[in-house]
């Protein structure tokens, strides 16, 4: 029989969550009022109605509007603190949180306000719940590689609090090879590295991500279309940070009963379950575990394996030298 384990009781890591994607509709409206930011929505209902996405780009267009309300150090601190308390309630003991500084630099928010706010939120949540949080700063692939390299340099004053670098935003047309120098630079400087790949892009995007030296693949679900790639991921023990409700809401795999997580798990790939942008996709990490449990008939042992894998795939230690 499945479903006897309370998902929240499984100690787990969340390895794929965008801090900006944890901004709940009511908090978004409150910040818009506080900072006098004009939005296309006036109520929580209108905000939620805008969350009817057709693909990744339709989501990103809304996500970047939401980012406009985060203006001050305290906003970033509150956002990080709220997310971590919510994650701790889901059994998360370690969260590796993506954040895209380029968005806020373009909106005129100084890096120090962004980062020191986030670290305040991390420290407060840790003092209150014991949850351990680390920051992954993510470059946006719709921008240039030179922009990404300039971002890395600008972040160096906070290097000791940044665990790794990622790559997100519009995947199609912006393959990982466009960022080969970015990944070589961050690896040379001793950081961990990961990239979104195989969300909307095909298995070739995942292969390219491996070629540029990332240690984890964010999403990676389209790898399942290529059995040789699946075998490679399993053999090389490359963790995938899979986000089922995101895949459903962005029509990557709209029918969760056909989600590739089952194929990947059965092939021995290190699959982890995560929330991506929980306020936009209707579920935090435990909701994602329950959604795949119900859709794919996962046993308690399989749920425990997913949680254990997430803990073993964290970057709590230094990067392996390649
Ligand atoms: N940024 C926030 N969420 C994302 C996703 N699912 N894919 C790519 N970039 C993102
Ligand atoms: Zn993501």
pLDDT for 107-117, tens place per residue? Answer: 999 999 999 99
298-307: pLDDT as tens digits: 999 999 999 9
Q: Please give the share of the chain, as a percent, with pLDDT higher than 70.
A: 97
pTM: 0.97
Q: For domain 8-312, give the CATH number.
A: 3.20.20.140
* Angle between helix 227-236 and 203-211 (nearest 10): 30
Say what the pLDDT of residue 322 is: 46
169 touches ligand 1 (CB under 6 Å)? yes
Provide the pLDDT for residue 4. 78
* Helices 145-155 and 111-129, packing angle to 10 deg: 60
Nearest CA to ligand 1 atom 10: 169
Residue 81 is labelled as binding a ligand: no
Give the number of the ligand closest to the Cα of residue 67: 1
Q: Rounded to an integer, what distance in angstroms lies between the CA atom of residue 107 and that of residue 91?
A: 34
3-state secondary structure of 140: strand
Instruction: Provide mean pLDDT across the span 269-284.
Output: 98
Residue 107: helix, strand or coil by DSSP? coil
Does the annotation flag 18 for ligand binding? yes
**Segment 296-300 long-range contacts (CB within 8 Å, at least 24 positions apart):** 296/256, 296/257, 296/259, 296/261, 296/262, 297/2, 298/2, 299/2, 300/2, 300/3, 300/4, 300/5
* Cα-to-centroid distance, 1 and ligand 2 (Å): 32
pLDDT, tens digit, for every residue of 110-161? 999 999 999 999 999 999 999 999 999 999 999 999 999 999 999 999 999 9
Smallest-distance ligand from the CA of 61: 1
If we measure between CA atoms, which residue out of 281, 278, 242 comes closest to residue 260? 242
- Report the pLDDT value the prediction gives residue 31, as an integer from 0 to 100: 98
Catalytic residue among 20, 145, 171, 199: 199
Question: What residue segments make up the domains of the chain, in order of their start?
Answer: 8-312
Cβ of 56 less than 6 Å from ligand 1: yes
User: Average pLDDT of 272-283?
Assistant: 98
Q: Is the CB of 247 under 6 A from ligand 1?
A: no
Ligand 1 pocket check for 203: Cβ under 6 Å = no
Q: Is the pLDDT of residue 318 over 90?
A: no
Tell whether the model's pLDDT for residue 163 goes beyond 70: yes
Q: Identify any residues that bridge with 17 across adjacent strands, giving them in sequence order.
A: 97, 276
Q: Supply the pLDDT for residue 5.
A: 86
35 carries a ligand binding annotation: no
Tell me the pLDDT band of 317, cut-offs 50, 70 and 90.
low
Give the confidence band of 269 by pLDDT, cuts at 50, 70, 90.
very high
Q: Are 299 and 268 in contact (CB under 8 A)?
A: no
What CA–CA distance (Å, rounded) separates 129 from 55? 36
* ipTM of the complex model: 0.97
């Amino acid at each position: 029989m499945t479903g006897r384990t309370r998902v929240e009781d499984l100690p787990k890591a969340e390895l794929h969550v965008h801090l900006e994607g944890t901004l709940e509709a009511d908090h978004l409206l409150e910040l818009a009022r506080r900072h006098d930011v004009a939005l296309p929505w006036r109520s929580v209902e209108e905000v939620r109605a805008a969350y009817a996405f057709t693909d990744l780009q339709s989501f990103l267009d809304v996500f970047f509007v939401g980012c406009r309300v985060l203006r001050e150090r305290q906003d970033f601190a509150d956002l990080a603190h709220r997310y971590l308390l919510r994650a701790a309630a889901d059994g998360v003991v370690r969260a590796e949180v993506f954040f895209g500084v380029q968005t806020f630099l373009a909106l005129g928010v100084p890096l120090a306000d962004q980062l020191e706010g986030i670290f305040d939120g991390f420290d407060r949540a840790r003092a209150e719940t014991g949850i351990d949080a680390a920051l992954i700063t993510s470059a946006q692939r719709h921008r240039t590689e030179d922009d990404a390299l300039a971002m890395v340099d600008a972040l160096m004053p906070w290097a000791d609090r940044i665990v790794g670098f990622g790559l997100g935003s519009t995947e199609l047309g912006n393959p990982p090879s466009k960022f080969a120098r970015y990944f070589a630079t961050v690896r040379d400087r001793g950081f961990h590295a990961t990239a979104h790949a195989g969300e909307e892009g095909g298995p070739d995007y995942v292969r390219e991500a491996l070629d540029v030296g990332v240690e984890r693949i964010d999403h990676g679900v389209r790898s399942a279309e290529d059995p040789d790639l699946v075998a490679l991921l399993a053999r090389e023990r490359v963790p995938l940070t899979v986000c089922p409700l995101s895949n459903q809401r962005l029509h990557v795999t709209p029918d969760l009963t056909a989600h590739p997580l089952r194929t990947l798990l059965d092939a021995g790939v290190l699959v982890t379950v995560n929330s991506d942008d929980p306020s936009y996709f209707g579920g935090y990490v435990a909701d994602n575990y329950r959604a795949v449990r119900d859709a794919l008939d996962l046993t308690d042992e399989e749920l425990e394996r997913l949680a254990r894998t997430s803990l073993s795939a964290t970057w709590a230690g230094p990067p392996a030298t390649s």
